[in-house]
Amino acid sequence: MAITAAQVKTLREKTGAGMMDCKKALVESGGDEEKAVMYLREKGLSKAAKKAGRATSEGLVTPYISEDGKTAVISELLCETDFVAKGDDFTGFAATLSEKIAGLDVTTGNADDLPAEVADVTDLIAKLGENMGVGRFAKITTDGVLGIYVHSNNKLAAIVELTGTDDDNIAKDVAMHVAAMNPACKTSDELPAETLEKEKALYLKQAMDEGKPENIAEKIVTGRLNKFYKEVCLVEQAFIKDDKQTIKQILGGAEVASFQRLALGEKAE
């Protein structure tokens, strides 16, 4: 008999087993859901559902860059323990995940933004015995130059897209800087007006509380705003490998078109 996608979906939601396992169980059971559940239990494939409530605080952030160097992906795969995160099955799935995302029409998001079959980790859960899940991902496709950096612990990574240069070494350096310094934006022009107003109000209050005259307080606000820009705006930050230069200076005539950063377990703002 023909097994429908709806039947597979219902059985998968009920047992936590993989899509193909659910389909096979239904085929073997002649479409009988109760028999299919028993089939999965006998095969040990429904145990993934029992793991679902466990915390996933470990895992990997895994990079992928296409052969032509024009598409880069970093993705987050979560699990319970660092031991499992270092295993071949887990690292292999993580690498395949990033490569699959590179072929999809997506940019940034999380598991909900991916096709179910791409984000499905139930078979991996059944095999390794831990709760797991696909976290966030970021993808950049460009005609420019991409730099990708992954920290040695595989829990932090960044991608940078540059235009106006063909030097991918600069792009890699800036990606490393982004990973380490976590800039909020490229330039001060990209800061939300609400953020700027809050900062100005804070600095003005500080200056007035210090007893500064209004005309002096305004100059203090300007100075502290400039310092704030250097802290949060990528091109104005001091380069992590040489703090005597800003990112804008090491770029030369190049420009940062975009960047993405992922740190394991870090919540998106």
Per-residue confidence (pLDDT) for residue 118, from 0 to 100: 94
Q: What is the DSSP string of 49-85?
A: HHHTTS---EEEEEEEE-TTS-EEEEEEEEES-HHHH
Is 268 part of any domain?
A: no
Per-residue confidence (pLDDT) for residue 18, from 0 to 100: 76
Per-residue confidence (pLDDT) for residue 45, from 0 to 100: 61
Which CATH number characterizes residue 155's domain?
A: 3.30.479.20
**Are 79 and 175 members of one domain?**
yes
**Are 119 and 160 members of one domain?**
yes
Is 150 part of any domain?
A: yes
Is 118 part of any domain?
A: yes
Which one-letter amino acid corresponds to residue 35? K
Per-residue confidence (pLDDT) for residue 53, from 0 to 100: 59
Is 222 part of any domain?
A: yes
Is 237 part of any domain?
A: no
**Are 172 and 197 members of one domain?**
no
Structure tokens at 233: 């705006």
When computed from its CA atoms, the radius of gyration of the chain, rounded to whole angstroms, is: 24
Tokens 């982004």 correspond to what residue? 178
Per-residue confidence (pLDDT) for residue 181, from 0 to 100: 96
**Are 131 and 209 members of one domain?**
no
Is 102 part of any domain?
A: yes
Q: How far apart are CA 131 and CA 124, in angstroms?
A: 9
User: Total structural domains in the chain?
Assistant: 3
**Are 90 and 143 members of one domain?**
yes
**Are 151 and 29 members of one domain?**
no
**Are 66 and 171 members of one domain?**
yes
Per-residue confidence (pLDDT) for residue 212, from 0 to 100: 84
Q: How far apart are CA 92 and CA 83, in angstroms?
A: 14
Is 171 part of any domain?
A: yes
Which CATH number characterizes residue 223's domain?
A: 1.10.286.20
Mean pLDDT in consecutive groups of 10 residues from the start of the chain, 269 residues: 86 77 89 86 63 77 96 96 94 97 95 91 84 94 96 96 95 97 94 90 86 85 91 95 95 95 77
Per-residue confidence (pLDDT) for residue 76, from 0 to 100: 97
Is 74 part of any domain?
A: yes
Which CATH number characterizes residue 38's domain?
A: 1.10.8.10
**Are 208 and 82 members of one domain?**
no
**Are 92 and 203 members of one domain?**
no
**Are 218 and 252 members of one domain?**
no
State which residues form the domain around 161: 58-182+247-263
**Are 21 and 96 members of one domain?**
no
